Structure 1
Amino acid sequence: MNRYDLSEFVLKLMDKANTHTPLHFQKFMMDLVRDITRFDAAWWGWSLFRGGRIAMVHTDVSDLPEDFEPRVKAQLANDPFVRTGRNLQRYARSITVAEAVTDPSFRDFAGHFNLTQMLNGHCKVRDGRFNFFMSLYRRGAAEPFTDTENADFLAILRHIEQALSMSLQLDLGMRVDPNTDWALVDATGELFLSSTGFQHRAEFSATSRGRVPDLLRAAAATASHVGRDGAVFTRERYSDDLWLLRLTPPNPWGDLSRREKLVANCLVQGMTMRQAAERLDVSVNTVRNQVSSIYRKTGVENRVQLLRLANPTLTEAAPDEA
C-alpha cells in the first residue's frame, strides 16, 4: 500500500464517517478496506472484555456463511489473537493456521471454513471500554500476509479508530442533549461507551459501592429505572444490539424546605442575603443559616454552583408564597 492509496483511503473513510451513522459507516468501511487490502473473507464488530466474559455487538461478515459467527464465538477462548492482544490499545497480528495454531478445536474450526491465513487486529474507540475488531482471512493455498501487510493493517486500524470515533460523536451529538449523561449498554447491561460523567453519577445511584454493573443490568431491563439516589435511567433502542441510557439526576431541590426554596429562588434571581431577608421579611442571620442548609443539601459550595443547578421548577416558586 503506497502513500497515495492510504491518503485516498483516509479521505473516503472520513467522508463516510462524517455522513453516516456508525453502523452504516462500518458497511462502507469494509468496501474501502477491500480496495487496498487483499483478502477472501472478513469478520468485524465491537468487542468488550470484562473478567472472563467477552461481549460482542454490531458484528458482521463478508463472504462467510451464516454458521460462521456462532462457530467462531465458540472458539474465542482458544483464539490466539484474543489471548495475546485484547488489552492493547491497538493491535495487529497475522498467522498461518497450519504453522501457528496448536489447539485442535481451533484448527478444526479454521479447516471447516478453509481459512488458512488470518490477519486480525483491533483498536479502542473514543476512550471507550470496547474494541473495534477486524479479522481478514485468506483461503486455501493463498500466500501468507506479509510483514508489510501487517504494518499497513495497523495503519488502517489507526484511521478507522479516528473515523469511527467521529461517527459516534456526531451520531450521539444529534441524539442526546449535551448536558445529559448517557451510556450505550447491551441487553445484559455491559457498558460499551458513556459520557464523561455517567460512570461517576451511576456510582451514586448504585445500591452499594461497586454495584454499578447491577444497576446497569436493571436499567437495561426496563424502560425506566430509578437509582438509590432518585436518579432516573431511561432507555431507548440505539441499535439491534445496544440500548441508549439517559441519566436524569435527582431533583436537587427535593430535600429543601419551603422556606429554603424561597431563599434559593431569591439567590438565583441575583439578590444579596440582605435583599432576600427584606423580601421574605426575616433577619439576615436567618437567611444566612438557610443558605448554609441549601448548600449542604444540594451539594454545592457557592452561589455560582447553585445557579448551575437552577431549573424552571425552582424559579417558578413565587417569593410571596405562604
Structure 2
Amino acid sequence: MDAQDKLKREYENKSIYTAGFYADPDNDLQNRQKLFDTLKSLVMNQEADTPFALQIMLTNSEINIMPLGLVNLDELKEYESKKRVTHGLQNQNDSLPLVIQYSPHTDGGKIIKKMVGSVQELFTNFNQQIEIIWQTVKELMQANFATLTAIENDLITDSHDVYKEYLATFSKMTSTELKEQLGFRIAKDELAQFSAYMADMHEVQAIVLSSGSFVNRELLEKNSFTTMMSDNIRRSTLFWVLDNTFYEIYYYFYMSNSNEKLHKRLQHLRQDLIVNMRNDAFHRAQEMTAKQSQNVDFNEYFTDIFIPVAEQIIAEINKFKD
C-alpha cells in the first residue's frame, strides 16, 4: 500500500482535529501544561487514525505538531520509500511518524522539521511520548526566543541613537522654541527623560506600524472589516498578530532595563496588560463590526491599542527611576 492509499484509507471522510495556543515566551511551566492538556485531550477523545494538527503560536513564529503527510503528501511518500529501502518489505507497519515543524515568520527564517516517534506511540504510551515531544518543543521555543532577543537588541540599539538625536536637538532650543515645537513647556533638566520617552515611542511605533501594515496587506486587503472578521483563519491570525505585537513591545522595555526589581514588577503586570490589550482589541473589533465599518486602517487600530500599553509600561519604569 503506497502513502497516498494509506492516507486515503485513514483520513477519508474525517475532518481534521485542530487545536492551538499562544506560548508565553518565557513561561516553560505554563507552556508544558498547555501542551500536555491539549495532547491529552486528543488521545482521550479521538482515535489514532484521526488527522490532527496542534498549532503553537510564538512571537514571530509557530510550531505545528501533526502526522507526517498531513500538509504535504509527498513527504510521507518519500519517507516510506526510504523505509522500504532500509528495512525491506518485511518490516512494514501502519504507524505514521509524528512531525514537529518550526516555521519562523522572519526574513530568511528556515523551516525546521523533526520526527518524534509516531502517532500510534502517542496514543499507546502517552506519558513517555509527551516528555519527548515537550523537550523538542522547548528546544524550538528557546531558538525562537533567541530570535526575539536579537530583534529587541536591534530596536534597543536604534533607540540609543534616536535618543541622542532628540537630546541634541532639544538641547539647542530655547524654552520658547521648545514650547512652540512640542506644544507645552518643559524644563531643561527634564529633556533627558523626555528624549528617552520619545526614543522609546519611536521604537514602539515602528513595531506597531509593522504589525498594522501586515494586517492591512495580508489579511484585510480589499475586503471590508466585517468580511475579514467572518473568516476564521483571518480572524485568528489577527489575534495572533495582536499577541505578537504585545510581546515585542513588552520585551523591548524588559530587555532595555537591567533592574531586577523592575523585571519582577513587569512580570507581575504582564498578565493584566495582555488581558486588557486583548479585551480592548476585541471591544474595538465588535464596535467596527456593529458599525459595518468599511474603510478600516489597521495602522490606526494597532496604534490606538498599543500606545496606551507602552505608556503604562513607561510609567512603571519611571516609578523605579524616581
- TM-score (ref. length: structure 1): 0.29
- TM-score (ref. length: structure 2): 0.29
Bigger RCO of structures 1 and 2 (CA < 8 A, at least 6 apart): 2
More helix per residue: 1 or 2?
2
